[in-house]
Structures are given as structure tokens and as C-alpha cells.
Amino acid sequence: MTEKKPLRPETERFKQILIEAYQRGELSANMTAKDMIRELAHQLKPIFKRNNHK
């Protein structure tokens, strides 16, 4: 069995954002896919900005 490598902080954050967005979508009957994507993009923007400045 191979050992799991710890995820990089931005990968871990990405994973958390996806899980939260999914759960919010499950809980909200009136949230459209468009709303979910818009919110996801807003939350992910800082991660991508940081990566571009390396």
C-alpha cells in the first residue's frame, strides 16, 4: 500500500471549497448551477491569483 502524500495547502483549500459548495447546493433548493459556479469562482479567485505570482 502506498503512503498518501499530504496535500498542498491550496489543493486542500480547493477541496474544502468544492465540498462546501456541494453541500450548500444540496441544502438550497433554489440555488441554480449558475449561482453555484459564480460563488465557486469567487472563492477560488484568491487561490489562482496567488499561484500566478510565484
pLDDT digits (tens, 9 = 90+) for 12-52: 888 888 888 778 777 777 778 788 788 888 888 887 777 66
Confidence of residue 3 (pLDDT cuts 50, 70, 90): low
Whether 25 maps to a domain, the answer reads yes
Q: Give the residue among 12, 10, 6 at the shortest CA–CA distance from 48.
A: 10
What range does the domain containing 31 cover? 10-52
Whether 1 maps to a domain, the answer reads no
pLDDT at 4 over 80: no
Note the pTM of the prediction, 2 decimals.
0.49
d(CA 15, CA 46): 14
Q: Give the residue among 24, 48, 50, 52 at the shortest CA–CA distance from 37.
A: 24
Whether 5 maps to a domain, the answer reads no
d(CA 25, CA 9): 24
Whether 27 maps to a domain, the answer reads yes
Whether 16 maps to a domain, the answer reads yes
Helix/strand/coil for 23: helix
Whether 47 maps to a domain, the answer reads yes
Q: How many domains does the chain have?
A: 1
pLDDT at 54 over 70: no
Give the per-residue pLDDT at 18.
82
Helix/strand/coil for 12: helix
Whether 40 maps to a domain, the answer reads yes
Whether 29 maps to a domain, the answer reads yes
For residue 11 the three cell numbers come to: 489543493
